Amino acid sequence: MENEKTVSIESELADVSNQQFTTKRATVPALEDILYTPHKVLDHGFIRVVDYMGDDNAVVQAARVSYGKGTKKVSQDRGLLRYLLRHRHTTPFEMCEIKFHIKLPIFIARQWIRHRTANVNEYSARYSILDKEFYLPSPEHLAAQSATNKQCRGDTVTPEEAQKVLEILKEDSERCYANYKYMLNQDENGEPQDETRAGVARELARMNLNLNYYTQWYWKIDLHNLMHFVALRADSHAQYEIRVYAEIMKEILKRWVPNTYEAFQDYREGGVNLSRIGLEIVQKLIRGEQVDQGNSGLSKREWKELMESLGLDI
């Protein structure tokens, strides 16, 4: 059931989205179609585009300003975009920006904020009371610690263990929120719930809440750094709870700048970066020379990654 705060935010955004503006700036119809529309993520989260600046052509314009008037054919524009991305000329992509409104669990927000190339303004629990909304993973996303990678999950746990974990998460979250409300001793309007006691400040009461509670923020980023974020966080090795947000962003990226997105898929997502030694190994393999991990100059992990990227089993 939606709380009053969520209904109020949705109502305000509906009012904004119903407004019509005449502009000389470039607009992207495919992105305009989903402007302000929330895309549901996890159990209570969402992501929506609230504003943007620029399009594929803006990148092209920024690149050509350095050498004057250039070609204007669509095919040549596409070729230039691909050249820029292929050769890592990133500045022209920084001329486009996009702003998101995102609702996400706090523990994902703390991982997300490591991308320090965006402008962020987060909902403040110093001034407002957090809603009783916390993330509970689906049983299929509960897994044990990986035995080979300290950063990720391994095999899923048994149904019985998953049920126990979910019960613990829910019980702890419910209890912490009850204690949070007790410490606040305030309703949404700041009125005391129990006039016999004062309660503590919101900035203090918030420290009792779990990391699975939801927060919200506005997150504005340029196109170059958005592609970097998506490349890392939509990757299969990324944590599931942040990956689902990045996958939606990838679809938004496709709507916003389709030619840039095509190049991004070819050179970033679907491409492979080779080290000097890696390139030498590929050249030896092409010449038919025998190469193995022992004489390659690569560590076992580097060798494994190179062979997987080449689709080889050597």
H or E element at residue 156: strand 153-156
Instruction: Tell me how far apart the alpha carbons of residues 205 and 111 are, in angstroms, rounded to a whole number.
Output: 23
Task: Write 153-159 long-range contacts (CB < 8 A, 24+).
Answer: 153/240
Instruction: Tell me how far apart the alpha carbons of residues 265 and 230 are, in angstroms, rounded to a whole number.
Output: 11
Instruction: Tell me how far apart the alpha carbons of residues 11 and 23 are, in angstroms, rounded to a whole number.
Output: 25
- Rg (the chain; Cα; Å): 24
Identify whether the C-beta of residue 117 lies closer than 8 Å to the C-beta of residue 221: yes
Binning the chain into helix, strand and coil, the percentages to the nearest 5 are 50, 15, 35
Looking at 86, 233, 255, 301, which residue is catalytic? 233
Instruction: Tell me how far apart the alpha carbons of residues 120 and 152 are, in angstroms, rounded to a whole number.
Output: 27
202 is catalytic: no
Where are the alpha helices (H) located in the chain, listed in sequence order?
A: 4-17, 29-32, 56-64, 74-86, 106-112, 159-184, 202-205, 223-233, 240-256, 258-264, 276-286, 293-296, 300-310
Q: In this structure, what token pair is assigned to residue 20?
A: 């019509």
Residue 197: CB atoms within 10 Å: 10
Instruction: Tell me how far apart the alpha carbons of residues 123 and 218 are, in angstroms, rounded to a whole number.
Output: 9
Catalytic residues, by residue number, are 233
